[in-house]
């Protein structure tokens, strides 16, 4: 039987490190709605790693 594990959500700092960009660029992309999908958890911004990877794949195909 296969067990699925849930990967922890990433912070903006985690995503910026993964993509190699400044956090400020990530916030600008969010404001312009061109960056990876993010969600608010309370007052904190969190990213699903699978969404970030999917966004990166899509961006690479353009």
Number of domains in the chain: 1
In a domain, 48, yes or no: yes
Q: What is the pLDDT of residue 62?
A: 84
In a domain, 6, yes or no: no
Full domain range(s) for residue 41: 12-61
Give the residue among 40, 22, 38 at the shortest CA–CA distance from 30: 38
Helices (H), the chain: 12-19, 23-32, 49-61
Round to whole Å and give the CA distance between 50 and 53.
5
In a domain, 28, yes or no: yes
In a domain, 53, yes or no: yes
% the chain with pLDDT above 70: 94
In a domain, 3, yes or no: no
In a domain, 7, yes or no: no
What DSSP element (H or E) covers 6?
A: none
Q: What is the pTM of this model?
A: 0.86
% the chain with pLDDT above 90: 87
């Amino acid at each position: 039987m296969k067990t699925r594990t849930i990967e922890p959500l990433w912070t903006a700092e985690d995503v910026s490190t993964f993509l190699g960009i400044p956090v400020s660029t990530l916030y600008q992309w969010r404001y312009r709605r061109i960056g990876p999908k993010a969600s608010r958890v309370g007052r904190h911004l969190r990213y699903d790693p699978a969404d970030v990877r999917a966004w990166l794949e899509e961006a690479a195909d353009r």
